[in-house]
Amino acid sequence: MNHIKLQLLNNEECEKLLRKLCDAEWIDGKTTAGSQAKTGKINEQIKQSSPLRAEIHAYVQKAMWAHPAIKSFCLPRKLHRFLISKTSLGGGYESHVDNAYMSSGRSDLSFTLCLSDHNQFKGGSLEVDTVMDSVDLELEQGEIVIYPSTSMHRVNTVTEGVRIACVGWIESYLKNEIDRVTLFQLDSGAKGLLAKHGRSEELDLIFLAYTNLLRSLGT
């Protein structure tokens, strides 16, 4: 599976957001699930119309777009359908694939950001399928994982405590996963060479090729 997992927010930032959510109004998470996935979704979410949800959306998006690895990996056009979910004891989300098109945009990449302290709950890991097996992703507080929306995935049952996370979808300038990964590798390699050896005419040509490939492949 082509994904990135990194620290986006620190513990203090997460705790600040969790305090804001203490008095939030939660609704049944099934309201935002597709017809096939409804029965397997056991969690709660903040209303889409909530000003608090919009505030946290803006905060998380600002942090994501400020992170160079995320920008390089996603080549984001927009972040949309931002949800804040709470999964309590016995809750989870059975295997499903995200809708290709939502009213808010195309889903090229999906993400999960864990706000809860991992010591305060058990279970609740995100499991994403690959061609041959699956990857079980345990997220620490403030960690985010971004992965292709084309993958089957699930949230395993919470066996103790409460897991609060932000999830959402990214419409990229590139809808093709192979194109995104290739450009991410090219960009990462070029930036690594720049940091190690400094600027050169040869490296300028690599950045030129990257930029023109992005221009030609973009939608």
Query: Hey, what are 18's tokens?
Result: 């969790």
Is the C-alpha dihedral spanning 44, 12, 146, 59 positive or negative? positive
Q: What's the pTM? A: 0.93
| Fold that domain 4-172 belongs to in CATH | Jelly Rolls (2.60.120)
Q: Tell me which residue of 85, 76, 31 sits closest to 56, measured CA to CA.
A: 85
Burial code (b: 16+ CB inside 10 Å, e: under 16) for 111-131 equals bbbbbbbbeebebbbbebeee
- What average pLDDT does range 184-196 have in this prediction? 96
pLDDT of residue 65: 97
Q: What is the DSSP letter of 175?
A: -
- Please give the pLDDT value at position 35: 59
List CB contacts of 179: < 8 A, sequence separation 6 or more: 217
Q: Write out the DSSP string of 119-154.
A: GGEEE--EEEE-SSSEEEE---TTEEEEEETTS-EE
pLDDT band at residue 34 using 50, 70 and 90 as cut-offs: low
